Amino acid sequence: MKIWLNGGLHDLDSARVSVFDHGLTVGDGVFETVKAVAGRPFALTRHLDRLARSARGLGLPEPDLDEVRRACAAVLDANPMELGRMRVTYTGGLSPLGSDRGDQGPTLVVALGEAKRRPDSTAVITVPWTRNERGALTGLKTTSYAENVVALARATEQGATEALFPNTVGQLCEGTGSNVFVVLDGEIHTPPVSSGCLAGITRALAVEWTGARETDLPLDVLDRAEEVFLTSTLRDVQAVHRVDDRELPGAPGPVTAKAMRVFEERAADDLDP
Ligand code: PLP
């Protein structure tokens, strides 16, 4: 496995980052997970735009997106695989403790692993914790993912693969690594970005391609929605067949099944050559 670290390709075993790296000491890094099909990244420009937006939000030095693009191409070339998940991580570099070590520049890592095709449907839980729709980090894709780790562990304990958060005013927000959609009276709705959710790239494409509406939704919409589905880079559009104790038999229902089909067809056009 070859990974990109700060200007060049390295063997995974020999790539080293300082123990004083900010991403490790205080967690102020940003990242993207990009799907790659037969070596072609999906929606890379959108991912790089969001990486830069997140970096700006954290006050990190502006990433050189041409370099990130070159790094992605080099890693994809060096590690051929049919379905990959490419992780781009960008941190502020050395913390003050490490400042006597010279290089203060940011750290850029691009790594690639095999991705698995997800089942058509999955189970989710809701959690009692909240997403903050007005926090300093709201909408940024930062490496500070510990809250998501805790929520996902609870989901796993309950036989689910995702945990859905309300925001601080009790509205449906998002999952630990996905956005959520519900079908009401045959229409597709998803929480707006003002709910505090990440502006998911799959979410944006699904809204564009299915005509889903962005609507403030109470958390208990999950008790009555006809269908529920998730979107994310690695799930694409994935139906939900159970929310907490509520079964949604027959998932994917007809509206979700159509969204899955539309997404699969349109997504093929969004692969970078
Ligand atoms: N929400 C959160 C918190 C995420 O971490 C992610 C992706 O990792 C998403 C939503 C989905 O975003 P995307 O479709 O860009 O993968």
14 CA distance to ligand 1 middle (Å): 30
Ligand 1 lined by 171 (C-beta under 6 Å): no
- Distance between CA atoms of residues 149 and 170, nearest Å: 21
- Domain end position, chosen among 95, 114, 133: 114
| Burial of 102 per CB tally in 10 Å (0-12, 13-18, 19+) | exposed
Q: Which atom of ligand 1 is nearest to the CA of 233?
A: 16
- Whether residue 252 is preceded by a cis peptide bond, meaning omega within 30 degrees of 0, is yes
Q: Are residues 252 and 157 in the same domain?
A: yes
- 12: tokens are 């995974």
The CATH number for 60's domain is 3.30.470.10
Q: Which domain holds residue 29?
A: 2-114
Note whether 64 and 165 are same-domain residues.
no
**Cβ–ligand 1 contact at 178 (below 6 Å):** yes
Question: Looking at ligand 1, which residue's alpha carbon is closest to its atom 9?
Answer: 178
Cα 148 to ligand 1 centroid, rounded to whole Å: 11
Q: Judge if 218 and 160 occupy the same domain.
A: yes
Residue 46 has pLDDT above 50, yes or no: yes
**Same domain for 130 and 265?**
yes
Regarding whether 255 and 129 lie in a shared domain, the answer is yes
Ligand 1 atom nearest to 46, measured from its CA: 15
Query: pLDDT tens-digit profile of 98-114?
Result: 554 445 689 999 999 99
Each residue's pLDDT tens digit, 149-173: 999 999 999 999 999 999 999 999 9
Q: What is the pTM of this model?
A: 0.95
ipTM, 2 dp: 0.99
Q: Is the distance from the beta carbon of residue 196 to the nearest atom of ligand 1 less than 6 Å? A: no
Q: Which residue in this structure is represented by tokens 């939704």? A: 217
